[in-house]
């Protein structure tokens, strides 16, 4: 919301500078992001009157102008296409420095002297769109009645400060100048000055004989006020109105449209003007659209409507999308003579859904979405009628048509002064609290004791409970005046739930592995599944669709953490950060037959590049095996005893030969899938702009919790020495190492404590289709020192087992 300091002073006397006012508003909870001076960089620019134009003797595209600038007449050479004799123009005098840095000096252009420059909007740092079309490429042509020599900042309304408010959604009331003025009055103690709502009506038939209004969808439209103004003349609005609209960030169009926008900025009430003569039977019907019904809006685009959308119709067809945009067929044009003004209250949720479905956003829809003042509809219609009479010469038809099926009733809240002081830690008197609330135009009534009864005005829809009034007291009293006190009471420590303990342990483990935590959105784009090369039948496609998404890029809930991990990796790669070790713990969601989706906790990991291992060591490649090591560390720290990895091709995003599922429980013959790991498919890498190999992991924490043992168990240190034997065997490549590991441990019995694979080799000395696996095996007994004979027996048993199961040969 942009607030003009000059315009604001029309409603309340302000004895603070713009920056001081911004500071006070911010302290009171109405944050001001910036204070901008509209005329910044414009100095020594005045109104000039072109008295004579002659052709340039040495240039066909230039002319020589004699210009009266008040104190003197100067000669200016220009090539502006719209320059004309007797016109009033903006002239930068010699010595002026314009916003773009251009310094005006005396000069000679093709032999003719030029003392100044006639300015365009762009040269003054202004938006050309805020000027008539014929002036957007040429110089600014001013009205005939502006005084010669006048400072251009006062003529164009640039001698003003703009306060840029950053409003929270609950303070939609401050999207109007009048309600901002109410805030200023409450802060400064000033008196509010209301605009003129008195309408001079013509001696004509009453409004209900001119127009009929019917509300069919009363749940979506709770009030509709119509006023009729006839004999209007469509023309540019007066400069003062254009200046105020420009200050508010609204482009002037013509006097009728400008009045509706002016009322929206002044009172917060969106309005629309229909060409009365184009409305069939001069009838307004507020109804839901018929499925498939079409309308061409003011932006000249055609939209197909559905049955949930609210429209304004006449006796035959829709003429506006309610609260969003008017229809082209009933647009006010230069030929319009009679207009019907709409001032209505539409349900915010309906407007938001319609706006998003159609992709149409406007100042009006934004205000309806956040909530407007239902009681202001009639007042706004009167104010608009009064202004239209002034700026268009129209005649106001007596009365209005006010369809108001369920009139508003005020919210009444009881507030305890003692409770306020208890919550804020203050000692404010009840009388002072009454003064504060009364300064906000709240009706305050003293009940017994320290109890107050407050009636809330219609424009403060955010005040619904006692705690809201406590906040009002706090901000008016001044947050900086509330003392800081130490909290009292007894601190109680509550134990973590098993899920919280699991998450905490996993986080500590992966941080210890050198990974960095990231947080990404749970909302993703449906196109993410295409980038991951996921088939239409895959479980990852069972997305929960967001009914009111912020954008197409955040329209479904994620079913896997992969999109966020790879997107983050991609952003890092674009910034030349190619050594990555990232993880995220978060929820994934799948559509289910129940009212709520299936929500589960996962941890996702992505690694790529090299991991430093100290300045004396070579960096380690972060590949499939590095990711596998992270998984093993997590499972070991969680106390998961039985886990293994098995090849899989169920994940199309992963390299088909370098991917595995992570299994727990039940031995190699069964068990549960609690995640997957693998290198990212080359095509997926290309889709995300990753130019080197990357490995990913996703563990299902919700499914893992049944296998976790976070209670440490005591085991005495061994009293007897261990014996280590190595073994290298050659086996066919089609056998998995995990199978060999399991067979070794089973054959080794209780004396084999550990079998460590320290080398895998394929090469010239090994036959094609075979691989050499080298193990280091640790034998140890708890009650005695082992003999060579005992160890040899177990070692021989392992060799025989490998020969039978895998056709293994000692190397």
| Binding-site annotation: residue ranges for Mg(2+) | 462, 468, 471-472
List the alpha helices (DSSP H) in 291-362.
Answer: 348-358
What gap in Å lies between CA 677 and CA 410, rounded to an integer? 60
Q: At 139, is the secondary structure helix, strand, or coil? A: strand
* Inter-CA distances, 356 with 353, 361, 488, 540, Å: 5, 8, 48, 26
What gap in Å lies between CA 666 and CA 669, rounded to an integer? 7
**DSSP annotation string for 197-219:** ----B-SS--HHHH-EEEES-TT
Chain centroid, CA 787 distance in Å: 72
Q: Both tokens of residue 221?
A: 């439209």
b/e burial code for range 570-596 (CB count within 10 A of at least 16 → b): eebbeeeeeebbbbbbbebbbeeeeee
Q: What is the pairing mode between strands 580-590 and 516-517?
A: parallel
**Radius of gyration over every alpha carbon of the chain, rounded to an integer in angstroms:** 39
Backbone phi, then psi, for 712, in 5-degree steps?
A: -70, 140
3-state secondary structure 689-724: CCCCCEEEEEEEHHHHHHHCCCCCCCCCCCCCCCEE
CA atoms within 13 A on the CB side of 403: 23
808-811: long-range pairs with CB below 8 Å, 24+: 808/729, 808/730, 808/731, 809/729, 809/730, 809/731, 810/727, 810/728, 810/729, 810/730, 811/728, 811/729, 811/730, 811/772
CA dihedral 102, 106, 110, 111 (to 10 degrees): -170
List the alpha helices (DSSP H) in 648-773.
Answer: 682-687, 701-704, 737-748
What gap in Å lies between CA 736 and CA 771, rounded to an integer? 11
What gap in Å lies between CA 283 and CA 383, rounded to an integer? 23
């Amino acid at each position: 919301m942009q607030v003009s300091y000059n315009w604001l002073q029309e409603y309340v006397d302000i004895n603070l500078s713009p920056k001081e006012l911004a500071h006070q508003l911010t302290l009171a909870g109405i944050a001001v992001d910036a204070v901008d001076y509209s005329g910044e960089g414009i100095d020594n620019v005045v109104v000039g009157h072109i008295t004579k134009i002659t052709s340039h003797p040495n240039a066909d595209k230039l002319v020589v102008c004699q210009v009266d600038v008040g104190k003197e007449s100067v000669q200016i050479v220009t090539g502006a296409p719209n320059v004309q004799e007797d016109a009033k123009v903006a002239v930068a005098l010699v010595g002026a420095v314009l916003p773009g840095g251009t310094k005006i000096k005396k000069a000679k252009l093709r032999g003719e002297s030029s003392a100044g420059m006639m300015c365009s909007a762009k040269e003054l740092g202004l938006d050309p769109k805020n000027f008539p079309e014929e002036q957007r490429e040429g110089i600014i042509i001013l009205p005939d009645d502006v005084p010669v020599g006048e400072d251009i900042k006062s003529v164009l309304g640039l001698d003003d400060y703009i306060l840029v408010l950053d409003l929270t959604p609950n303070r939609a009331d401050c999207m109007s100048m009048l309600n901002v003025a109410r805030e200023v009055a409450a802060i400064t103690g000033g008196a509010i000055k209301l605009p003129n709502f008195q309408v001079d009506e013509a001696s004509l038939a009453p409004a209900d004989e001119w127009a009929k209004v019917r509300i069919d969808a009363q749940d979506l439209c709770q009030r509709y006020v119509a006023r009729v103004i006839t004999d209007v003349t469509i023309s540019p609005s007066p400069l003062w109105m254009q200046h105020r609209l420009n200050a508010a960030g609204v482009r002037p169009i013509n006097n009728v449209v400008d009045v509706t926008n002016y009322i929206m900025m002044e009172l917060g009430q969106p309005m629309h003007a229909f060409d009365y003569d184009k409305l069939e039977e001069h009838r307004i019907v507020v109804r839901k659209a018929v499925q498939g019904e079409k309308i061409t809006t003011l932006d000249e685009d055609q939209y197909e409507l559905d049955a949930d959308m609210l429209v304004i119709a006449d006796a035959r067809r829709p003429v506006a999308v309610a609260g969003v945009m008017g229809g082209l067929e009933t647009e006010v044009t230069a030929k319009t003579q009679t207009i019907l003004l709409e001032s209505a209250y539409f349900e915010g949720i309906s407007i938001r859904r319609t706006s998003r479905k159609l992709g149409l956003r406007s100042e009006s829809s934004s205000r309806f979405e956040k909530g407007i003042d239902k009681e202001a509809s009639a007042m706004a219609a009167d104010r608009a009628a009064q202004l239209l009479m002034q700026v268009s010469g129209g005649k106001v038809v007596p009365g209005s048509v006010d369809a108001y099926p369920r009139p508003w009733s005020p919210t009444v809240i009881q507030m305890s002064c003692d409770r306020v002081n208890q919550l804020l830690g203050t000692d404010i008197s009840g009388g002072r609290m009454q003064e504060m609330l009364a300064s906000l135009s709240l009706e305050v009534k003293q009940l017994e004791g320290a109890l107050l009864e407050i009636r809330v005005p219609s424009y403060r829809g955010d005040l619904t409970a006692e705690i809201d009034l406590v906040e009002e007291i706090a901000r008016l009293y001044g947050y900086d005046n509330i003392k800081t006190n130490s909290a009292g009471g007894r601190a109680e420590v509550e134990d973590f739930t098993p899920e919280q303990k699991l998450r905490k342990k996993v986080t500590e483990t992966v941080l210890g592995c050198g990974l960095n935590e990231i947080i990404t959105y749970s909302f993703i784009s449906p196109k993410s599944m295409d980038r991951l090369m996921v088939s239409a039948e895959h479980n990852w496609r069972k997305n929960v669709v967001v009914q009111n998404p912020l954008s197409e890029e955040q329209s479904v809930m994620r079913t896997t953490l992969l999109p966020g991990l790879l997107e983050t990796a991609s952003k890092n790669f674009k910034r030349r950060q190619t050594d990555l070790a990232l993880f995220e713990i978060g929820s994934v969601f799948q559509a289910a037959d129940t009212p709520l989706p299936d929500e589960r906790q996962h941890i996702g990991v992505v690694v790529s590049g090299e991991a430093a291992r100290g300045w004396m060591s070579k960096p380690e490649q972060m590949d499939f095996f590095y990711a596998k090591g992270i998984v093993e560390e997590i499972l070991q720290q969680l106390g998961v005893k039985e886990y293994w990895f098995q090849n899989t091709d169920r994940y199309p995003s992963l390299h088909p030969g370098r991917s595995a599922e992570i299994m727990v429980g039940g031995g190699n013959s069964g068990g549960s899938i609690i995640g997957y790991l693998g290198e990212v498919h080359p095509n997926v890498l290309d889709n995300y702009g990753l130019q080197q190999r990357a490995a990913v992991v996703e563990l299902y924490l919700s499914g893992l919790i049944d296998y976790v043992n976070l209670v440490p168990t005591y085991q005495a240190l061994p009293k007897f020495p261990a014996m280590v034997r190595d073994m290298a065997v050659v086996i066919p490549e089609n056998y998995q190492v995990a199978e060999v590991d399991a067979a070794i441990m089973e054959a080794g019995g209780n004396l084999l404590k550990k079998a460590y694979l320290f080398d895998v080799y394929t090469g010239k000395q090994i036959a094609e289709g075979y691989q050499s696996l080298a193990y280091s095996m640790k034998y140890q007994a708890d009650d005695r020192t082992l003999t060579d004979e005992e160890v040899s027996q177990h070692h021989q048993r392992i060799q025989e087992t490998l020969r039978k199961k895998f056709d293994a040969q000692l190397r």
